[in-house]
A and B are shown apart, each in its own frame.
Chain A
Amino acid sequence: MVDFAVGTLSDLSRMALLAQSDGGSFWLPPPESVSSWAVDNVFYYILYLSYFFFALIFAVLVLFVVRYRRRPGVEAVKTATHSTLLEAVWSLIPLGLVIIMFYAGFVGYVELRSPPEQAYEILVTARKWSWQFTYPDGTMATDLHVPVGEPVRLVMSSEDVIHSLSIPAFRVKMDVVPGRYTRTWFQAKQPGKFDLYCTEYCGTGHSDMLASVVVHQREAFDAWLVEAGDILGNSATPVEAGEKLFRLHGCGSCHSTDGTPRIGPTLKGIFGETHRFSDGSSLAVDENYVRQSINEPGAKIREGYKNQMPTYKGRLSNDEITALIQYLKSLDGG
């Protein structure tokens, strides 16, 4: 029991230390975007006010409990049962303080919601349970690569349910809603790698819907863009290209490559297997079947699964599908 208490106490102190080891404060991660002040300034304003008021309440409470604790023979002393002046004071002072709070938050919000005119625009597509970032030249990526020191605007939409894009280091968060476009922006201060989360609950893979934000110097960013843009050309083999495409298009959020079923069946070693479909028919898996599964997933529904796969028709070229098929073939049971 004592050990346990000591352990917990040391954990508590570890929490305090750990929280600062990344260069941030106890409360906030290090501010990595130029608009971080919009959150941080008012955050600390409220924080110190909260410390003050909590300390005040705590002190008064302890003082009263100790001084006026019940003792035999000592009666409570009658004091005023109300005081308009006192009550006006402790209504108006907080009122003034929260009006400042509101205004500071408003100013910060305007900053967070107003991207500069010539921002670099990246399209964000959210789907269960992966992110896809599309660049002006058509390049796609599953991590968000951005140049340092330039404003970046994200134009976001969802293919299925509501998601939310959150980058705590940049003080960025915006819901990604099906049926409409939402926007947010940031400007990274220095190169580095930061976490990106989905913060709107979206089902099974919600906590896996993570990505990295990679901030490059401009030249490195350009180089990355060229390389990422030509997947087929920059891969040694079609299998390697297929693997990249598999990740890029989020196949892995529904299909495993190690034999375990998820939302969809595993794609390990399917070539040559005979699969039964929900309409009772069956078929041996070959290249044509896989191609059809990708272009018209609803045509044949694998028995025991639901028609949940989105179509990739028009999003994957012939060569890309071929590469994917080569990759899937490489996953044979052996």
Chain B
Amino acid sequence: MATTVDGKTADFPTDRGPLNYLNCDRGILSWAFTLDHKRIGLMYLISIMASLGLGGLFAMLIRVELAHSGQQIVDENTYNQLFTLHGAIMVFLFILPGIPAALGNFVLPIMLGAKDVAFPRLNLASYHLWVIGALFFLLALVTGGLDTGWTLYVPYAFQTDTRVLTAGVGAFILGFSSIFTGINFVATIHTLRPPGMTWFKMPLFLWALYATAIIQVLATPVLGITLLLLAAELVLGIGIFDPTKGGDPILFQHFFWFYSHPAVYIMILPAMGIMSEVIPTFSRKHIFGYRFIAYSSVAIALLGFLVWGHHMFVSSQSSLASTIFSLLTFSVSIPSAIKVFNWLATMYKGSIALDTPMLYALSFILLFGIGGLTGLFLATLSTDVQLHDTYFVVAHFHYTMVGGTLIAFMAGLHYWWPKITGRMYNEFWGRLCSIGVFAGFNLTFFPQFVMGSRGMPRRYHDFPEKFEIFHFLSSIGAFLMGLAMLGVLIYLLYSLFKGRRAPANPWGSATLEWQCSSPPPKENFAETPSVSDPYDYDHIKYDPEKNCYYRVN
């Protein structure tokens, strides 16, 4: 399908055919039971963005309540439900599946030049399970809510009369959804790489998804076991966690964090993968230190299993255990630091374009930098005693989960939006809102570091006067960030109808997904595309007339 541009041969179609994956089959069933990874990815995308909206709404309500001391809009019990549901929805329905199941699903097979994932039916099952799990969450929400915090700590979870069991079933099902995605990605990357794409010629996003998938497959079963034991305790009273029956509530925390710490890397590794695609593309530079980045993904995935006890330094876990966990935790910090330096080095002497995805990528470097550096305070034994369960921790993990994962998700969303929808969004509004998100985010969470280290405990419905100013600033920031996110929603929706039609390769990327039309046809590629270095931009040239890039050989 060679076309000619500028007198040179372009290797891939800049024009799309009449049929693509969006319009090739019609009817609701052709979506609900599709086996096409792109459709499944798109349904995931819509679903997780709806979850993001719901979780974000709860976040706004929380910040309104906390704008001043004293009760503003909700009482203690409602507030406790708000922060629990905010956390549970954001973690289980948005951040965990966000990048892998939505963007990953769409991009991974195309990046491999493949037609689909290895197990399309398993992929569909994963989405269906996600929906069922989400329905259980909603059921819990309308039948009495949940007020345990997303951590479900016992014995409080045994004593509350909110819907621990329903939400637990939901999380259990969502766990399987995640496992299915993981299995699929591992199998796909092992078996469907095209000829010529060796492990070290894979785009780094695939390395990141691969490392993530390993965690999904190995860690998530532990969440399942934990939830089963919790259910057995709730229903049968087996006495494993409940101190009144001779059980050990600290054991629950070990179980919980044995999953939930690695889960942190399910959230952040794919985000790092997006960085490793966006930064080289918009700098038109080969990624620096490919192997270090690839290895560090795997290193983080494996080391991430050995550090869960850093959540329990003041829990009455033995001091020896705490010491070992602290030491191991520092070992994970090094690979993360390496990545940041490598991304910066990639930009050196590049040709840096500040398009929306790149602005998010730069935000990511700064915010994740702060998130990582403040993590050092929490990994250190004695400082964690002061900071544990204060707003310092709240700020830290928002800098990594929002400043990291959400911002990277936004980078990826804007980067692949033309590919997914076939439309370009308005670049001016894109940039403006990304700056708004950055400013609002910092105003929301930076003051939380300060009040946290000064002692403000987390999960408080009310607070002493001396913390008033910090909370007030934080609420203003949240309002700003919410507004910017709303702007994103509006211009993205607008682009679906009025946006300029997207060329196959609007950014000048060298990975394979830009070699098929935007949006891609159902089978992605008519013939297996030829593989070359995913970060070599020498063959990708700009066509100013069509405002897009094409490939020359």
A interface residues with partner B (beta carbon < 8 Å): 8, 11-12, 14-15, 18-19, 22, 24, 26-29, 38-39, 42-43, 46-47, 49-50, 53-54, 57-58, 60-61, 64-65, 68-71, 74-83, 86-87, 90-91, 94-95, 98-99, 101-102, 104-113, 160-162, 164, 166, 168-169, 171-175, 177-180, 182, 195, 197-208, 210, 306
Selected from A50, A173, A182, A205, the residue in CB contact (under 8 A) with B385 is A173
A29–B458 Cα gap in the complex (Å)? 17
B386 touches A106 (CB 8 A): no
CB of B389 within 8 A of CB of A19, answer: no
The residue that B345 contacts in the complex, of A50, A86, A113, with Cβ under 8 A, is A86
Bound complex: CA A292 to CA B369 (Å): 60
| Chain B residues within an 8 Å CB radius of A12 | 473
Residue of A110, A162, A174 most packed against chain B (CB within 10 A): A162
Chain B residues near A79 (CB, 8 Å)?
285, 348-349
With both beta carbons as reference points, the residue of chain B lying nearest to A168 in the complex is identified as B455
Residues on B with beta carbons closer than 8 Å to the beta carbon of A206: 76, 80, 459-461
What CA separation (Å) do A82 and B334 show in the bound complex?
Answer: 18
A165, B517: Cα distance in complex, Å? 60
Q: Report the nearest B residue to A7, measured CB to CB.
A: B476
Would you list 19 pairs from A and B whose C-beta atoms are within 8 A, ordered by A residue?
A27-B454, A39-B383, A43-B377, A50-B373, A64-B347, A65-B352, A65-B354, A68-B348, A69-B353, A76-B283, A76-B350, A81-B287, A98-B376, A105-B382, A109-B322, A169-B455, A175-B316, A195-B464, A210-B464
How distant is the Cα of A179 from the Cα of B377 in the complex, in angstroms? 30
Nearest B residue (CB) for A172: B385
User: CB within 8 A of B453: which of A28, A71, A166, A179?
Assistant: A28
B376 engages A82 (CB within 8 Å): no
The minimal Cβ–Cβ distance linking A266 to chain B, given in whole angstroms, is 16
Known: A98-B333, A204-B76. A76 touches B537 (CB 8 A): yes
Decide if A57 touches B365 in the complex (CB within 8 Å).
Answer: yes
Specify the chain B residue showing the minimal Cβ separation from A98: B330
Cβ of B38 within 8 Å of any chain A Cβ, yes or no, is no
With contacts A15-B473, A179-B246 known, what are 7 further pairs, Cβ within 8 A?
A47-B377, A50-B373, A87-B292, A168-B454, A171-B385, A199-B389, A206-B459
Do the beta carbons of B351 and A74 come within 8 Å of each other? yes
* Docked-complex contact B354 and A199, CB < 8 angstroms: no
| Chain B residue, CB-CB nearest to A177 | B316
- List, in ascending order, chain B residues with CB within 8 A of A113's CB: 319
List B residues 168-201 near A (Cβ within 8 Å). none
Q: Taking each of B348, B374, B461, B535, which has the highest tally of chain A beta carbons within 10 Å of its own beta carbon?
A: B348
Distance A34 CA – B452 CA, assembled complex (angstroms):
21
Assuming the A-B contacts A14-B469, A108-B382, A207-B460, are A174 and B314 also in contact, with contact meaning beta carbons closer than 8 angstroms in the complex? yes
**Bound Cα distance from A201 to B341, whole angstroms:** 38
Whether the Cβ atoms of B349 and A77 lie closer than 8 Å is yes
Contact digits for B368-389, partner A, Cβ 8 Å, 1 yes 0 no: 0110011011011111111011
B60 contacts chain A at the CB level, 8 A cutoff: no
- In the bound complex, residues from chain A placing their C-beta under 8 Å from that of B347 are 61, 64-65, 68
B525 beta carbon closer than 8 Å to chain A: no
Q: Which residues of A contact B351 (CB under 8 A)?
A: 68-71, 74-76
In the assembly, what is the distance between CA of A225 and CA of B377, in Å?
A: 39
Q: Are A82 and B337 in contact (CB under 8 A)?
A: no
Nearest B residue to A194 via CB reads B455
- With beta carbons under 8 angstroms apart, the residue of B381, B458, B461 that contacts A105 is B381
B residues within 8 A CB of A54?
A: 366, 369-370, 373
A174: nearest residue on chain B (CB-CB)?
B314
**B-side contacts of A110, CB under 8 Å:** 319
A-contacting residues, B319-366, CB 8 Å: 319, 322-323, 326-327, 330, 333-334, 337-338, 340-342, 344-345, 347-354, 362, 365-366
- Which residues on the B side are within 8 Å of A207 (C-beta)? 76, 457, 459-463
Which residues of the partner chain B approach A160 to less than 8 Å between Cβ atoms?
155, 159
5 tightest Cβ-Cβ pairs between the two chains A and B: A108-B382, A168-B455, A179-B243, A105-B380, A109-B381
Known contacts: A70-B352, A82-B289, A113-B319. The answer to whether A202 contacts B156 by CB under 8 A is yes
**Partner among B334, B389, B447 whose Cβ is within 8 Å of the Cβ of A98:** B334
In the complex, which residues of chain A have a beta carbon less than 8 angstroms from the beta carbon of B469? 11, 14-15, 18
| Per-residue A-contact encoding for B207-246, CB less than 8 Å = 1, 0 else | 0000000000000000000000000000000000001101
Checking B314, B327, B342 against A173 with a beta-carbon cut-off of 8 angstroms, the contacting residue is B314
Which residue in B247, B366, B537 is a CB contact (below 8 Å) of A58? B366
The answer to whether B459 touches A173, judged by C-beta atoms less than 8 angstroms apart, is no
Q: How far is the CA of A61 from the CA of B347 in the complex (A)?
A: 8
CB-based nearest A residue for B353: A70
Chain A residues with CB under 8 Å of B286's CB are 78, 81
Cα–Cα, bound, A99→B373 (Å): 15
Write the nearest CB–CB distance from A94 to chain B, whole angstroms: 5
When chains A and B are docked, how far (Å) is the Cα of A69 from the Cα of B248?
Answer: 58
Q: A82-B288, A105-B380, A164-B314 are in contact. Are A171 and B386 (CB under 8 A)?
A: yes
The reply to whether A203 and B156 form a contact with Cβ atoms under 8 Å apart is yes
Contact B344–A11 (Cβ < 8 Å): no
Flag whether B434 is at the interface (Cβ < 8 A): no
Nearest CB on B from A196, distance (A): 10
Residue of B nearest to A178 (CB): B243
List A contacts of B369 (CB < 8 A): 53-54, 57
Q: Does residue B429 face the partner (Cβ distance < 8 Å to A)?
A: no
Q: Name B341's contact: one of A11, A90, A204 (CB within 8 Å).
A: A90
Residues of A within 8 A of B326 (CB): 102, 105-106
Residues of A within 8 A of B161 (CB): 306
Give A261 Cβ to nearest chain B Cβ, in Å: 12
**B344 contacts A60, C-beta separation under 8 Å:** yes
Report if B165 contacts A (CB, 8 A).
no
* Interface: B423 (CB within 8 A): no
How far does the alpha carbon of A302 sit from the alpha carbon of B91 in the complex, in Å? 40
Q: Are A39 and B382 in contact (CB under 8 A)?
A: yes
- CA distance in complex: A69, B283 (Å): 8
Tell whether A109 pairs with B285 under 8 Å between CB atoms, given A57-B344, A101-B380, A179-B248.
no
Contacts of A76 in B (CB 8 A): 283-285, 349-351, 537
Question: Which of A61, A199, A204, A208 is the one whose CB lies under 8 Å from B362?
Answer: A61
Q: Given known contacts A15-B447, A26-B450, A95-B334, is B381 in contact with A61 (CB within 8 Å)? A: no
CA distance in complex: A179, B316 (Å): 12
Residues of A within 8 A of B313 (CB): 109
Q: Is the CB of B330 within 8 A of A99?
A: yes
Known A46-B377, A60-B344, A87-B338; contact A205-B386, beta-carbon cutoff 8 A? no
- Taken together as a complex, chains A and B put the C-alpha atoms of A281 and B156 apart, in Å, by 31
Query: In the complex, are the beta carbons of A65 and B285 less than 8 A apart?
Result: no
Q: Would you call A101 and B376 a contact (CB within 8 A)?
A: yes
A100 → B minimal CB distance (Å): 10
B147, B289, B338: which contacts A203 (Cβ < 8 A)? B147
Pair A24/B457 contact, Cβ less than 8 Å: no
Contacts of B463 in A (CB 8 A): 207
Chain A: CB-nearest residue to B388 = A173
Q: Which of A104, A161, A202 has the most CB of B within 10 A?
A: A161
Q: Which of A47, A58, A74 has the most CB of B within 10 A?
A: A47
B248–chain A nearest beta-carbon distance, Å: 7
Task: Tell whether, in the assembled complex, residue B455 and residue A195 are in contact, meaning their CB atoms are under 8 Å apart.
Answer: yes
* Complex-state Cα separation, A178 to B287, whole angstroms: 53
B249 lies within 8 A of chain A by Cβ: yes
Q: Check: B472 CB closer than 8 A to any chain A CB.
A: yes
Q: Quick one: which of B440-454 are within 8 Å of A by CB?
A: 443, 447, 450, 453-454
CB–CB B386/A109 < 8 A: no
**A314 to B: closest C-beta gap in Å:** 19
Expressed in whole angstroms, the Cα–Cα distance for A104 and B159 within the complex equals: 40
Check if A57 sits within 8 Å of B290, measured CB to CB: no
Residues from chain A with Cβ under 8 Å of B345 in the complex: 86
